[in-house]
């Protein structure tokens, strides 16, 4: 059976011979791209976004902002998108169904932005996204006066949303222990509300760096956001202004190639990431350093050099998208690894804790689930077909096992199109030339 870009399904991953010596070009950040696209769509004037990621998740956002009234012009060859914004007033043609596909960011961000629409907004999604939670966003929207009607299951898409207006600055209180995307969606819409918004957190935020990223992108487009001593967000009214915005390479995607250097030896350098990055996942290289890899950070690049690896005990609550990647590294360490603080990733594209443990065991590795993570004991990887559960991060992280061990095949490799359509081609490109 054929798959993504002519790759077979299942896709064999062949071991790498010799240490790496690679400079890898990583596509733009999905998380930054979708935040910047929405800010540009809500802005007054025309913005130019450079380094944009084109993948299923960002295509979903592009389709939604166009349906809500933004003018979008795309140059795929140059990774550039021009967006003429709506000035903060969204207009959805009656009867239009906005398809967020499998994109959690698009679902949560567009649902919150429906507060600004002058007409009913109807959202639907692929089956995988229909199964993921939307209740925190829907509850917050109702508390802000919006009408939300779920048409199949409570707290899930599909849903119809009718916005609301306010005579003074509203306050909404929201739990932040399931996904930062619920908070980010409300923050992104807030500058275009007539009186802004006060957003209070009822729990400690998971993936807190993603909230910092949201605020950074918002401020880049002219929004005024303040965080008070209690950790509440005060967003002033005034909307967004158009600008020229560069998108950083995706730090989550970079983690697979940094991990490849740690596992295979040699070095991998990625340009465009450095100490000034607004992505929390750049901290993944600190985990590799604590395991024994060498990390060299320059102003505009990061290099990882492989070394003798040891197990770690680490809380990944702030960089949970790299949990599966570190699992692949832990297999090759000396001593067990315990990854914790990530119970909330059970509600991602799949139960990422259960899936990691199940597939490691399929590969012959001793692994067990914890309430909020997993424990891995290194061992010899056995040949097998790895199930990916239609989760792009399962496919990309478990492909790393095949770089060291023969007989690893990845089922459903096309799922990487969600965030990194060229992943397997880029992975092949780092192989050393054999004389």
171-174/197-201 β-pairing: parallel
Within 265-304, residue ranges assigned H as helices are 284-291
- The residues with which 161 forms a beta bridge, in sequence order, are 121, 148
Alpha carbons 250 and 71: distance in angstroms, whole number? 25
What's the maximum distance between 2 C-alpha atoms anywhere in the chain?
Answer: 72
State the catalytic residues: 321
Alpha carbon 94 to its chain centroid, in Å, reads 31
Asked whether the beta carbons of 192 and 116 are under 8 A apart, the reply is: yes
Alpha carbons 239 and 42: distance in angstroms, whole number? 7
SS3 for 159?
Answer: strand
Cis (ω within 30 of 0) for the bond into 146? Answer: no
Could you tell me which of 135, 129, 120 has the C-alpha nearest to residue 175?
Answer: 135
Helices 323-330, 251-264: axis angle to 10 degrees equals 0
SS3 for 100?
Answer: coil
Q: What is the DSSP string of 140-198?
A: HHHHTT-EEEESSSTTSSSEEEE----SS--EEEE--SS-HHHHHHHHHHGGGSTT-EE
Residue with tokens 């030339």: 433
For residue 346, give both structure tokens. Answer: 């059970």
Length of the chain: 435
Alpha carbons 78 and 200: distance in angstroms, whole number? 40
Identify the helix (H) or strand (E) that includes residue 417.
none
Asked whether the beta carbons of 352 and 392 are under 8 A apart, the reply is: no
Residues 6+ apart with CB under 8 A from 286: 295
Identify the helix (H) or strand (E) that includes residue 128.
helix 127-130
Asked whether the beta carbons of 259 and 16 are under 8 A apart, the reply is: no
């Amino acid at each position: 059976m054929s798959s993504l870009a002519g790759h077979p399904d299942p896709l064999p991953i062949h071991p790498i011979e010799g240490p790496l010596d690679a400079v890898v070009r990583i596509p733009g950040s999905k998380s930054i791209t979708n935040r910047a696209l929405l800010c540009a769509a809500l802005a007054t004037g025309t913005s130019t976004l450079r380094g944009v990621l084109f993948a299923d998740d960002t295509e979903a956002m592009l389709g939604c902002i166009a349906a809500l009234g933004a003018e979008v012009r795309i140059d795929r060859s140059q990774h550039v998108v021009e967006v003429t914004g709506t000035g903060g007033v969204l207009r959805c043609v009656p009867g239009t169904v906005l398809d967020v596909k499998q994109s959690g960011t698009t679902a949560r961000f567009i649902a919150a932005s429906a507060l600004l629409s002058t007409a009913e907004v109807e959202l639907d999604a692929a089956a995988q996204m229909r199964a993921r939670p939307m209740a925190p966003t829907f509850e917050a929207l109702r508390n802000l006066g919006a009408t939300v009607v779920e048409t199949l299951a409570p707290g899930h898409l599909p849903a119809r949303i009718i916005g609301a207006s306010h005579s003074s600055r509203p306050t909404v209180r929201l739990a932040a222990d399931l996904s930062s995307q619920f908070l980010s969606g409300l923050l992104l819409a807030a500058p275009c509300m007539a009186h802004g918004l006060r957003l209070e957190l009822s729990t400690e935020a998971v993936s807190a760096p993603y909230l910092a990223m949201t605020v950074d992108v918002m401020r880049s487009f002219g929004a005024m956001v303040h965080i008070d001593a209690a950790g509440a967000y005060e967003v002033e009214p005034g909307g967004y202004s158009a600008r020229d915005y560069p998108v950083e390479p995706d730090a989550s995607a970079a983690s697979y190639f940094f991990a490849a250097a740690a596992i295979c030896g040699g070095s991998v350098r990625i340009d465009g990431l450095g100490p000034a990055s607004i992505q929390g996942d750049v901290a993944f290289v600190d985990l590799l350093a604590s395991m024994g890899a060498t990390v060299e950070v320059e102003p505009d690049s990061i290099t990882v050099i492989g070394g003798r690896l040891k197990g770690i005990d680490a809380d990944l609550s702030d960089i949970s998208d790299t949990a599966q990647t570190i699992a692949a590294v832990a297999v090759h360490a000396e001593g067990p690894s315990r990854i914790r603080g990530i119970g909330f990733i059970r509600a991602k594209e799949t139960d990422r804790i259960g899936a990691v443990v199940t597939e490691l065991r399929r590969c012959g590795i001793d692994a067990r689930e914890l309430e909020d993570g997993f424990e891995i004991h290194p061992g010899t990887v056995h040949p097998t077909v790895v199930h990916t559960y239609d989760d792009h991060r399962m496919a990309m992280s478990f492909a790393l096992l095949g770089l060291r061990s023969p007989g690893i095949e990845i089922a459903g490799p096309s799922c990487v199109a969600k965030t990194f359509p060229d992943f397997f081609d880029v992975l092949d490109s780092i192989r050393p030339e054999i004389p």
